[in-house]
């Protein structure tokens, strides 16, 4: 019976605790035992916080018995990407550069989750300092894809995805700077929510590119994403309300260039399934997307180098060369080039809002490629670079445009269906995703 808990959504677990059919203590012990016995546990979790988890579960059990639960997810165990500060527990952001770093307090979002009664199982592996969409980390551990153990799981929230996909957490909390929630969610058949920049507090989160860093969950359902989203923001949950009709824009052009057969077939199939009388899909291209994406090489690397350059100049040898080179590229651009790039981005963002204002949301394949082979990534630099750029190409559109976005699983393994909404329209986006999530599988 308890093993079935591992495959339930977080909200199903929460309702089970609420009606007395699930004990928070038994639940966390089931998860901890599953983690200990799983052959890939060390490739998914960087650290297990057993003592904290048991203490939090015990408190949740008392609240459940006295009808004092703090939220629907009070007593539900979740995992945290290893860039969220956790008091007294190493937080190293997947990098040898931060080895032994122990925060004195929890990140704001971890504190918010704790105040809502969620149970912290531990910290999950990730790409070094979150600067890769592949999840390959030869310096610490590489989490495999649930659909292909020889392939990477996607990054940089690789272990976050693995913890849920391999049934070792009900939700994984990750971060998304260029696709780091949505790529691993898509490749592991999960729901992944990318929030708008500055929508959720980044206090206590190891930074990469401050203007683009965002926080979001990887989970099994849109409902889970909606509930945990409210908790991370420390706001009351707004119940999902499915819209009666939708007008969606299918983004064509660069988002479907160099796309592999499986992701395109899955996306076409999903579009066909939801093209009903109450859902209209209209195809459009946005001509300046190529220019927008060409600016990412300036903006991202300059911001990342400003944050980490000084340390990397001294200790860069501790980092995987492929990721190190991305950081170091940031010193090749002038501040004037950076400023001009931002000016262009602001103009394109305004044009996008005008271009898409008649649509409820924009849809496109989450990633144009399937999870790449780990061994080939390690041995072939050109393969690594191409895979990394393609993995993040479609997701990065949303980051560059300042949008919120969500990926849903489809009928094809490791192929995601992505929906992009206007900035700070997360609640509307979640409502839209809820309307179509069951129909596209």
Q: Is 435 a catalytic residue?
A: no
Q: What are the residue ranges spanned by the domains of the chain?
A: 2-232, 246-286+347-436
Q: Which of 156, 170, 230, 255 is catalytic?
A: 156
Q: Which of 23, 71, 81, 86 is catalytic?
A: 81
Q: Is 180 a catalytic residue?
A: yes
Q: Is 81 a catalytic residue?
A: yes
Check residue 277 and give its pLDDT.
81
For the chain, the three-class secondary structure string (H helix, E strand, C coil) is CHHHHCCCCHHHHHHHHHHCCCCHHHHHHHHHHHHHHCCCHHHHEEEECHHHHHHHHHHHHHHHHCCCCCCCCCCCEEEEECCECECCECCCCCCHHHCCCCCCCCCHHHHHHHHCCCEEEEEECCCHHHCCCCCCCCCCCCCEECCEEEEECCCCCHHHHHHHHCCCCCCEEEEECCCCCHHHHHHCCCEEEECCCCCCCCCCECCCCCCCCEEEEEECCHHHHHHHHHHHCCCCCCCCCCCCCEEEEEEECHHHCCCCHHHHHHHHHHHHHHCCCCEEEEEEECCCHHHHHHCHHHHHHHHHHHHHHHHHHHHHHHCCHHHHHHHHHHHHCCHHHHHHHHHHHHHHHHHHHHHCCCCCEEEEECCCCCCCEHHHHHHCHHHHHHHHHHHHHHHHHHHHHCCEEEEEECCCCCCEEEEEECCCCHHHHHHHHHHHCCCCC
- Statement: the pTM of the whole predicted model exceeds 0.85: yes
Which parts of the chain sit beneath pLDDT 70? 1
Check residue 296 and give its pLDDT.
97
Check residue 276 and give its pLDDT.
80
Most distant pair of Cα atoms in the chain: their distance: 62
Check residue 158 and give its pLDDT.
98
Check residue 297 and give its pLDDT.
96
Q: d(Cα 70, Cα 83) in Å, to the nearest integer?
A: 26
Check residue 441 and give its pLDDT.
87
% of the chain at pLDDT higher than 70: 100
Question: Are the CB atoms for 159 and 126 separated by under 8 Å?
Answer: yes
Q: Which of 127, 170, 180, 405 is catalytic?
A: 180
Let me know if domain 2-232 sits in CATH 3.90.1300.10.
yes
User: Position of tokens 């527990």?
Assistant: 89
What burial letters (b/e) apply to 98-112, b meaning 16+ CB within 10 Å?
beeeebeebbbbbbb
């Amino acid at each position: 019976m308890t093993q079935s808990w591992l495959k339930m959504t977080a909200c199903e677990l929460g309702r089970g605790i609420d009606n007395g059919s699930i004990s928070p203590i038994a639940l966390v012990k089931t998860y901890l035992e599953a983690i200990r016995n799983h052959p890939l546990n060390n490739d998914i979790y960087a650290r297990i916080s057993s003592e904290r988890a048991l203490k939090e579960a015990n408190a949740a059990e008392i609240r459940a018995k006295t009808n004092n639960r703090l939220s629907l997810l009070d007593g539900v165990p979740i995992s945290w990407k290893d860039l969220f500060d956790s008091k007294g527990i190493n937080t190293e952001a997947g990098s040898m550069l931060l080895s032994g770093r122990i925060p004195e307090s929890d990140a704001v979002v971890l504190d918010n989750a704790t105040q809502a009664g969620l149970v912290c199982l531990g910290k999950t592996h990730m790409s070094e300092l979150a600067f890769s969409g592949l999840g390959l980390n030869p310096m610490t551990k590489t989490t495999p894809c649930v659909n292909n153990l020889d392939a990477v799981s996607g990054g940089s929230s690789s272990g976050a995805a693995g913890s849920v996909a391999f049934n070792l957490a009900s939700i994984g909390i990750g971060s998304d700077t260029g696709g780091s929630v949505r790529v691993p969610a898509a490749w592991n058949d999960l729901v992944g929510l990318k929030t708008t920049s500055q929508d959720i507090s980044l206090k206590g989160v190891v930074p990469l590119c401050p203007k683009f860093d965002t926080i979001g969950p990887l989970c099994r359902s849109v409902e889970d994403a909606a509930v945990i989203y409210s908790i991370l923001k420390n706001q009351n949950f707004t119940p999902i309300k499915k819209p009666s009709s939708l007008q969606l824009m299918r983004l064509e052009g660069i988002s479907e260039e160099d796309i592999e057969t499986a992701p395109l077939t899955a996306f076409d199939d999903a579009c066909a399934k939801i093209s009903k009388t109450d859902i209209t899909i209209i195809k459009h291209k946005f001509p300046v997307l190529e220019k927008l994406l060409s600016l990412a090489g300036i903006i991202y690397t300059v911001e990342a180098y400003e944050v980490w350059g000084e340390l990397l100049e001294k200790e860069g040898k501790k980092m995987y060369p492929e990721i190190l080179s991305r950081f170091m590229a940031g010193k090749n651009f002038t501040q004037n080039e950076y400023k001009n790039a931002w000016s262009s981005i602001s103009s394109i963002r305004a044009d996008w809002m005008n271009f898409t204002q008649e649509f409820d949301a924009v849809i496109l394949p989450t990633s144009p490629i399937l999870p790449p082979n780990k061994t080939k990534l390690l041995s072939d630099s050109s393969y690594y670079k191409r895979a990394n750029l393609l993995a993040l190409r479609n997701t990065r559109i949303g980051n560059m445009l300042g949008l919120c976005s969500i990926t849903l699983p489809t009928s094809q393994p490791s192929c995601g269906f992505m929906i992009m909404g206007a900035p700070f329209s997360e609640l509307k986006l979640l409502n839209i995703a809820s309307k179509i999530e069951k129909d596209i599988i």
